[in-house]
Structure formats: structure tokens, C-alpha cells
Structure 1
């Protein structure tokens, strides 16, 4: 009987090395005394976590730096001990707060260092980490490490439409849906979402509310994103206009909508909406769109179930 694959996540956290472009970049590496190695921060997914949350949590635990995820880099699968396999997803990330120099050494991590990108290959102990670094360098060479983030979220589980006799926009989440909304909070935090945008339906607003309440962020309600059967626009243009406004934000945005409208939302920003239509997002599922100068450079799909 084969053993289950251990799911893990990590990030290449980077910052400018100086005030000028020619100064290059630095990345954050950690030293583990147990193995006497230098590696990229990473760790195992905990029960109930999605991997973006794991990546940010592990970086903070191992370096003292809270990071914001950017574009995904690479996913590696390898045997980490005899008969046991690990799958690790990596992202590019930038620091938000915290000081690696103030990190207190412990039995797990006894050294944290900002290393110039051009010297990091020699510092790293493993070929797998060098492959991750190569993927990051490829992003840097095309400028794709400097993307903006738009997250399109389908609302969490809501009360049955067939049994709801009141205003359709007032149909709320179920108890299970509220729990799903709570689980979305750390996922949105992993990308440091700043702007929150929702259809006029209560079920969409409630999906974003746990994150909004925790960070004291307002939610912008927009009836252009309502379902047509609830009075929303039947034509694509209002939906496209709403999403293009989200794309124009410099800071990360999350927008919550409906299963029937999300393909139109994604099409408006240049994502293959046909793939989403063929395999619709589950309740509280999300698509993370990484874009730069009007071009979609990468997408991620995540589901709670």
C-alpha cells in the first residue's frame, strides 16, 4: 500500500538589494542546524489549510517575515526519505512586515539571511532548491515577478433558492457557508488583499465579511455583478467594466460573484472562461489571476473541498 504524498508549500521572498535597478535583488534563505543546510523557506500543509496559507505561515515561522504571495513559480515532487514522497508548491513573494535580522534562532532554524540573487545558487544546498531559484530567475528576466493580483471568488454555500421566498438578493449563507467564508480569510490574507468588491447579493458580501471584519476593510457592493435572474445585467459590458476597474487597482483585489457570472468576469480580464464553465468553481472556490500591464501571466485555482 503506497503512502500518501506529503503536501507542502514555500516561497522565494525577494526585495530590492538597493535603491537602484542595477543593485539587483536579494532573497531570503534559512539555515537548518539539524541538516546543516541552507534552503528556501517551506513546510507541511496543516489540516484545513490551502497551500497559499501554508506558504505564508511557514515563511513567517521560519524567518520572522510576513510576506505577500505573488506569481506561482514551480511545483516539485520528490522522495524525501525512503518510500515517502513530498509535493511542494512555491510562490514568489515580497515582505510586508517583520525583520529577518531580529529572528531568534532555535532548534529548527538557527540562521536567516538576505542573500544577493546572483550568489544564492552557491549558498543553496540542494538541486531542488536551485530548480526553484531558476524558476524565479525566469520570472525576474521577464518582469513577471512584479505582478498585480486579482482574486475571483465564488460565494460560499447559500440557502436554497427554491425555498427562499424573500428578496433574492437577501438570500444568506448557510451555517456551512459561513464556516467556508471563515476558511477563506487566511487565503485572502496570503495575497494581502486590500480592495474587496462584491455583487449586491448578501451571500457574496457574507463570503468576504470575515476577512473584511478582521482587517477593517470596506466591501464595495456592485450590482453590475448580480445574477441576471436576480436583476443583474444580461449583457457582458457592465460586468467587463466592473472587472476592468478591479484590474486597474495597484493593490490586490478580491471580487466575489456567482457561478453563472464568474465566466463572464474572468473573460473580461483575459482568462480562459471556457475552462471555468466546463469545470465550475465549487462554493467558496477561487481563481487567482496574476497580471501585469493588461496581460494575464498566471492563474491559480483553489477549492476548500
Structure 2
């Protein structure tokens, strides 16, 4: 269903090829979306489960390399599932072949207390909803690549997050961020690096579209998040044309009344435009400006057409009848 990406291996220190990732979520739409992103990004094998208890029953036969689990689920939630996996390091559990395997917690919010609770349970990293394809792949690659000691104690079982002298003490005080842990920030060191990232993200997204049979509602929403993230990165780099192009989709979506009403063709035009800009030589401002102007004109026409169609209907009321719309 999905073609293998060619640039992803160059971007990620630890290739995703050959991995088995288990996705645990009680919502079928989220399971499918995360699984589609993983496959589009080059993960060879993706298995899914509806709850922590179902995941536990599958682990011995599946033997995943990484687990992505939702926090809030019925039957057994993500916290209980994570604790059960880590507990197998103390009490042998035939269902769990590797209690040290990386676990990424999927959640809608990430407050300081949420972080502390999930880390105390033994989670390695977070994936905050709504997410972008790049963030999903980055999280999986990071937890696979990062070399962290594993702590087994009566107080805590999981990745070592101790700092300074505390790591040399026998008694473990609790899960903390270590000085060497990677911060949650985007690499915006240079425009060239950003363009390489854009090409990888656009390739991933295109394969995601093909795998799902088109730009459905969830993918249109995801495209808005991708463009928002790219706009921020382009702004930090100082590339005004890239920033303008990435911001264009938000302007269009706002004008038509939300991502659900966005024309998939217009969304695709934005994806193609970002790819075209990333392929242009650094410093070719004339060509970049022409590409952005073409995008602006296309989007403005679509917005005008939408407004004209909207204004072609006039609300009228008839005694004893509800408000309805007729052609003006």
C-alpha cells in the first residue's frame, strides 16, 4: 500500500526500516491514522490493539520494538499498561518478552503533572495530539536511538532520568529529566536544513494521502497542523516567502469555514507549493516569489468563488415555516 521513502533514512539517525511498532488506542480512527503515518514513514510492521489488556495479550507473539499507547482508554489505560510492562522487570511475566522496550505516551494535553505521572509509570516520551507525521516519526526514531540506562528499583522501574550526583546514589528519588535528554524543539539551524525537512515531510504526507485513498477530513486537519509547524520554523529561519506560503492554508481554511469544508485540491496545491519552494536553490528569490504569487492568486480565486457561492443564497422566512435558503 505504501511505497518506501528514500530520504527518511538520511534524516533519522536510527532507520525505521525493520522496526515493529505497536499502536494501542481505543479509537479506531486514531489507530489507523498513526499506523498509516508509520507505514508511510518506512516502518515495516505495525500492529494495533484497542486496549492495554489486548496489547499485553499480543506482546509475546508480536514482540514489538516500540509501543505507542494512548493515555485514556477503557479496560486498561495507558498508565496501567505501561506500569504492567515495566513491572515485568521485577516479576517475570511470560506475556512481556522485553520490559525495557521504549513506550511513547499519546495524550491530548501535557501539563507538568501529566509529565510527572507518565514518567513515574515508566514512559519514555510523549506524543501530543493533534500531531504531525514528522512528530510521530521523530518520536519513534528518538526513543530507538537514545541510549538511556534502565532503572529497576522498588520505587521506580523505567528509563533513567536522574541528574548529577543523584545518579550515583543507591536510593532513587524519582523520574527527572536528565541533562542529556533531548529538548522538544524543532531543528531550524539553517534554511537548507529546513528545506530538506520539508521535502521529507511532503514525501511522507503524499504517501499518507495515497495510502488512505485521498485527502480525507483527518488528513486535511493534519495538513493544517503541518503547515502551522512549517510556518513557525520558516519564520525562525527568517524566510518570509516560505512563511507566507505555509500561512496561506490557514487563510484559506478560515475563509471557507474550517478544514472540513476545505477543497482537497486546494490543500494539495499548498503541499505542492511547499515542495517546489524547498527544491529551489537557496537565494533564488525571484523564482520563489513567483511560486508564492501563483499560490496567492490560486487561493484568492478559490476564496472568491466560495464567497460568491455563499452569497448566492438568501435566507428567507415563511409564516409557520422554519428558516430556509433559496437562490437569490
Please, what TM-score do these two structures have when normalized by structure 2? 0.24
Higher relative contact order (CA 8 A, sep 6+): 1
Q: Which has the higher strand share?
A: 1
Q: Which has the higher helix share?
A: 2
**Rg (Cα) greater in structure:** 2
